[in-house]
Chain A
Amino acid sequence: MAKAEKKKLSGRKRDERVAAYIFVAPAVILLIAFLVVPMIYTVYFSGFKYQIMRPDAMKFIGLENYQKLFSDKNFWLALKNTVYFTVIVVPCQCVLALALALLVSKKFRGVAVFRTMYFAPQLTSMVVISVLWSVLYNANPNTGLINSILVSLGMSPIKFLSDASTAMNSIIFMSAWQGAGYQMMIFLAGLQGIPRDQYEAASVDGATKFKQFLYITIPGLKGTIKYVIMITMIQAMKLFTQPYIMTQGGPKNSTKTLVYYIYTQGFQKGNFGYACSIAAVFFVIVVCMSMAMKKVTAATD
């Protein structure tokens, strides 16, 4: 009797296990097909001299592409630009998102309208937004909205996108504006997880709004903040659409990012093997940065 029961149980366990595998399968298959296999291919192709038009004339050259990479000043420049973008945009975007979340977390008439408005840029394709901002930023005051305002205020127009010293910052500004809505939503969810009574107790004890923010909101959002910083950072490292549409990596390479560089090498110039080696190094950089980030935030716990 007991033996039969045990057998039955293990049978059920087996069924559960099978079911679990079936549930996981679609995700795993998709991950393998669209992430693992391409990754393996990337590393594999990075060992070849491979002109994109001539897959038949591939030649194995070992680590030569990597050697070339480390002495390629354009690679270092692209890395520098990418890191600059990330270092500036992540804090700006996160602070902006948190501020917006705090604004719309209050209950007042029409709050839903504001939430939707702040989130709206997220719903529009980055390509559309980039085209739109190219017009806003246009250097000619007769065309560019921002410059026409500047000129009407008696200032001289700024060559936002066609001057090497302002192009990247212009992209950072519009990226933070576009991206903040998404992080705002996550912060909003985090804010709702903080118990109301903590604030009530604090205000009974006479804590100011600022102190409440510092000692209740921030610690309460710790997990959310970590998550938001991490995804924003990874997103920022992958910057491509804005420079592709708005500046084509220029002027004077000031907005050439790593992913844009991979694209120009691989597709415009056809150096597919070399592009793969940059992609592989890029992957390692992003993984290292994420791990370092995790270490840093873990240490604060």
Chain B
Amino acid sequence: MKKTISLAMAAALAVSGAATTVPVFADDVTNITIWSPTDRESIEAWWKEKISEWNEEHPEIQVSREAIDRSDSYAYDNKIATAVTSNDLPDIFYVDGPQVSYYAANGITVPLDDYFTDEDKADFVKSSMTQNTYDGKLYAVGATESSVAFYYNKDYLKECGVDTDDLDSRTLENPLTTDEVAEIAEKCTTDDYVGTHIIMDHGEGLPYALEPLYLSAGKDYISEDGKEADGYVNSEEAVNTTAWLADLIAKGYANVEPITDEFLNGACATMIGGSWEIATLEQNADFDWGVTYYPVNAETKKAVSPCGDWAAAISKDCENADAAGEFLAWLMNTDNVASYAAAIAKPATRSSAYETEAMAEYKEGARALIVDQLENTAVPRPRTPSYATFSAAYAEAMTNIFSDAASNEEADTDYIQSEFDTVVDTFTEDYETYYAE
């Protein structure tokens, strides 16, 4: 089997024209395979470059990567799940932040503490370390972080009479409130524009992008110990927060079925969007735009922002974890983290990376705002082994709530409550069936 894999790899290398003569016999070589989601061209190129760089220097540890499609849903997670049942997991695979606990609790991934020094660990931002730690052990390491902020089309907002200088001047001390967001959305909704945009990907995007609204209102989705959803996601605070969102849909200030890149295409005036949008907008937007901090609850005014990104983990099926660990430690060194972050246009996880040339852009403007959020207000998603179940149930509930609001043209708090009670039941059943002691 090993030989066949080596042969196949050799053949693949020869075909791609990247083959270098490696004077080592197949049996002495450790082959490491990596799975990660298919990404934009710059990242695919980054992977190619880094892997050939490593393979040239380490003839005894040969690395190859397979790009797996994610398609804005749970397709990648399904691939991992099937690989677990058939014992076909690769040596290293990428995991989305909140899934780290799920895989760790089920013994699918192994601890990485031996491969990273304390000095290394201290260099990573806290939000990333917290998300990737389960039960006191480090289970995944990621090169980038993510955040969500409030984007606005300056040209259009000015037309609608919104004071964009005021928006530009907002800081973490006086961010926009949900009331102000609704007000702007109302002002800017016309036949050609909707006032704002809510991420509607029917997958992890919903719980990820919206969590700060709940935290700002005072209640997270799940208790801090990851065991309880009752009294959290179905709390009064959560229902009111969701009613506020559903109201935006009901009044037609946001689309229940937004088109792709709605903001970029000039079809919505503002959006609650990911940090990755900055690069897209810089390259493609034909209008003047701005970005400010994630909106806060109008009453509590507590600033919170999302975080968490994909991170690499070593699977239980990896035969040579030390070799995989050695590779990971190299892959996540300061220079590689910096060049990866620059290529993917996301903030880096290592503080030292910001001192490199590649990250120079993060010192000011929109990117600095994202780093500011990450350092000061970022809260990782709940760390619970039942996260996968929670995420799917929450996304389903939100989709139902939004379509209910769109059909009835009003937000129905009783319906929201009943949907969230269902989420609680689903979560509790899963947690109690598989994880409760």
| A binding-site residues for B, Cβ under 8 Å | 49, 51-56, 138-140, 142-143, 159, 161-165, 248-253, 264, 267-272
Contact = CB atoms under 8 A, between A and B. Distances in A.
A269 B399 contact: no
B102 interface: yes
A143 B406 contact: no
Q: Chain B interface mostly helix, strand, loop or mixed? A: helix
Nearest to B249: A162
Given A53-B84, A142-B192, A272-B85, A162 B403 contact: yes
B266 to A, nearest CB: 11
Give the interface residue-count category, chain B.
35 or more
Contacts of B78: 267-268
Interface of B: 73-74, 77-78, 81-82, 84-85, 102-103, 106-108, 192, 202, 255-257, 259, 267, 388-389, 392-393, 396, 399-400, 402-404, 406-407, 426, 430, 433-434
Nearest to A135: B259
Given A52-B81, A52-B85, A249-B396, A138 B403 contact: no
B407 A164 contact: yes
A134 to B, nearest CB: 8
A265 to B, nearest CB: 10
B400 A268 contact: no
B81 A53 contact: yes
A207 B214 CA distance: 74
B399 A250 contact: yes
13 contacts: A53-B108, A54-B106, A139-B406, A140-B259, A142-B192, A159-B406, A161-B257, A162-B406, A248-B396, A249-B396, A251-B404, A270-B389, A270-B430
B400 A51 contact: no
B74 A268 contact: yes
Given A162-B256, A269-B388, A55 B74 contact: no
A248 to B, nearest CB: 5
B399 A163 contact: no
Nearest to B391: A268
B257 A140 contact: yes
Contact of B85 (A55, A138, A164): A55
Contacts of A272: 85
Contact of A164 (B82, B202, B403): B403
A159 B84 CA distance: 40
Nearest to B415: A252
Contacts of B434: 51, 54, 270
Contact of A251 (B103, B392, B400): B400
